[in-house]
Structure 1
Amino acid sequence: MDIKWLEDFLSLAQTRNFSRSAEDRCVTQSALSRRIQALEAWVGADLVDRSTYPLVLTPAGKMFGSAAGEAMRLLNDARAMLRVEEANEQVLRVSAGHALSLNFFPQWLTSMQAKHGPLRTRILPANVHDSVLALVEGNCDLLLCYHHSALPIELDAQRFEFLHLGDETVMPVSVPTRAGSPAFSLPGAKAEPLPYLAYTPTTYFGRVVQHIQARAGQADCLRNCYESDLAELLKTMALSGHGLAWLPESCIARELAEGKLVRAGGEQWMLRLEIRLFRAIGQRKPVLDELWKYAAACHP
């Protein structure tokens, strides 16, 4: 059972309107309906009477709504107390995508600590949507993410500020042949499409690759043979010779240097991304303020 289902249900109980609650919850009406149905399946009873307009709660829905409201109150109170304790502990909570968590953050933190001094951090790997939501809802102190003008991370500039920490190039790679050329090289041929190790379309890197393909100026000939949310898994498959994959350079720096992977396309098949660090402007936490001030001096 997902806690978001409870929040969806409590919103619906208040508005008695799927369309209005979907707008309040920032989801589509069909997604909200599926989540309410999933909650009903978990409870084992119909919670909403859909035969009336406006809709009403069933007797089971009224009983469950009272319990759900109390549960959310207790959970929110506990979260508020824990946030106060964490603030006092001076632990920096950093939400970041999996690739940045593995390949960029450790080295960046080491460089910060070398001059700033020891820092207590907690890394929270997540997809882009959940990482941004963690910052917006106050569940992390810092958001580390990629940014491109065509694929922006949209945060209110009045509430959040950012630092540009560096850049990252996403490129197509393949295992080499004995001669050192890529075994699978773009754009490929219609007669024999290249085996393609793809990101799932809803991931950030999935959207990055779609943007690269759209602006390349020529069609590619690819055959999807494997799909994953994670760059590290695609890297493992690429190293095993299963096909071509687009990967961030920091993820494959060693493999490129050792010749285990080689570029599988020209500049038109690559994209440069910014690496940004966000924080909420109004959040006051001494260790966060100190790190931000130091990081801003290092990354003007």
Structure 2
Amino acid sequence: MDIGWLESFLALVEHGSFTRAAEAQHVSQPAFSRRIRALEIWFGEPLVDRSTYPVSLTPAGVKVRAGAIETVAAISAVRDEIRGRQRTPRGAVRVAVTHTLATTFFAQWWASCSDQGPVPCVLLPSNTLDAYDALLHGGCDLLLAYADPALPLSIPVADVEWMVLAEDVLAPYTSVTGRQPDFSLPGTAAHPVPMVTHSQGAFLGRVTERILAERDLHLLPIAQSDFTSGLAALIGAGMGVGWLPGRLVTPQLADGTLQQVGDSSLTASIEIRLYRVPSDKVPARAAGIWHRAAGLAADGS
């Protein structure tokens, strides 16, 4: 077994494509494919269904992913400690955070939960499903993620506890020129509105699809990414309309570089939730953060 095989496998899970995963690891696609095949030979079963796009995991692949996340993290920590480069704070709370919340919500919220003195933490940015998987399999202590009350994730929520910390709104935005929006909705069949969007597999992409399924809009997709801040930059550059969380675009709304378009029927209310496994399995410091967060949520802070 080569630990690099597991790292390549996790890259494939993250990117959903052999080509994109190989590029992310800075190796050729044939070399990357050989790593995945070597791992499958080692386990004795196919781990990836190559007939789908994005690629999907076989039942064996799902099991391997859970173990790979924990194994790679543990081996990396031991390596860093041996090399004298261990920088992880002692007793740190490991918090998996979806990428958008890592840049828009986490810092101020964590400081509020640590008002009696800094609480050491390790911030683990991730997508929603991988972060939830890490929570269930011990890869983190807490999970901070968006949730759509109208579109529950197909995950075993009975295995965790959660609370709502705050709310946000997913809405369509456009760039602005001379105080006028560059694009407007709904568009027409002859002149569809350019659209930048998340993939349908991403959480915010699924929420956007739910909104669009109920509306008669004329849109022309021209750019796609699951990196929400990157989409916001594309929208700001005048590429088209895109659905973004309000907390992310607050600065651009304030300085007039972005503007919401359409009416309230094109928006969706989403929640910012904190998750944990049953309380008897949560480390003491993480439990303290949980109780402090519950108090802040109850106070409306």
> TM-score of the superposition, structure 2-length normalised?
0.71
State the partner residue of 2:15: none
Alignment deviations for residues 17-60 of structure 1 (CA, whole Å, 9 cap, x no partner): xxxxxxxxxxxxxxxxxxxx96673379798699xxxxxxxxxx
| Pair 1:156–1:223, CA change in 2 (3 A) | closer
Corresponding position: 1:262 with 2:259: yes
**Are the equivalent residues in 2 in contact too, given 1:174–1:241 (CA < 8 A)?**
yes
Corresponding position: 1:93 with 2:94: yes
Work out the percentage of aligned pairs sharing the same amino acid: 28
State the partner residue of 2:27: none
Q: Secondary structure of 1:176's partner?
A: strand
Find 2:37's aligned residue among 41, 61, 73.
41
State the partner residue of 1:201: 200
| Pair 1:40–1:92, CA change in 2 (3 A) | closer
Find 1:226's aligned residue among 214, 223, 227.
223
State the partner residue of 2:126: 126
| Pair 1:286–1:40, CA change in 2 (3 A) | closer
* Aligned-pair CA distance for 1:153: 3.7
* Aligned-pair CA distance for 1:4: 9.0
**Are the equivalent residues in 1 in contact too, given 2:5–2:38 (CA < 8 A)?**
no
Q: Secondary structure of 1:89's partner?
A: coil
* Aligned-pair CA distance for 1:117: 2.0
Q: Distance in 1 between matches of 2:126 and 2:170?
A: 19
Matches within 5 A, 1:44-59: none
Matches within 5 A, 1:1-300: 2-3=5-6, 41-42=37-38, 89-113=90-114, 115-153=115-153, 156=156, 158-178=158-178, 180-216=179-215, 219-281=216-278, 282-300=280-298
**Are the equivalent residues in 1 in contact too, given 2:198–2:226 (CA < 8 A)?**
yes
Moved more, 221-230 or 87-96: 87-96
Residues matched between the structures, number? 243
Alignment deviations for residues 175-217 of structure 1 (CA, whole Å, 9 cap, x no partner): 1232x3321111111111111111112111110100011133x
Q: Distance in 2 between matches of 1:123 and 1:4?
A: 19
**Are the equivalent residues in 2 in contact too, given 1:197–1:234 (CA < 8 A)?**
yes
| Pair 1:187–1:47, CA change in 2 (3 A) | same
> TM-score of the superposition, structure 1-length normalised?
0.71
* Aligned-pair CA distance for 1:288: 1.2
Q: Distance in 1 between matches of 2:137 and 2:291?
A: 23
**Are the equivalent residues in 2 in contact too, given 1:87–1:285 (CA < 8 A)?**
no
Q: State the AA in 2 paired with 1:277.
A: L
Q: State the AA in 1 paired with 2:180.
A: S
**Are the equivalent residues in 2 in contact too, given 1:170–1:247 (CA < 8 A)?**
yes
Q: State the AA in 2 paired with 1:126.
A: S
Q: State the AA in 2 paired with 1:149.
A: P
| Pair 1:214–1:40, CA change in 2 (3 A) | closer
**Are the equivalent residues in 2 in contact too, given 1:40–1:47 (CA < 8 A)?**
no
Q: Secondary structure of 2:171's partner?
A: strand
Structure 1: 5+ residue runs without aligned partners?
Answer: 7-36, 51-67
Q: Distance in 2 between matches of 1:256 and 1:192?
A: 26
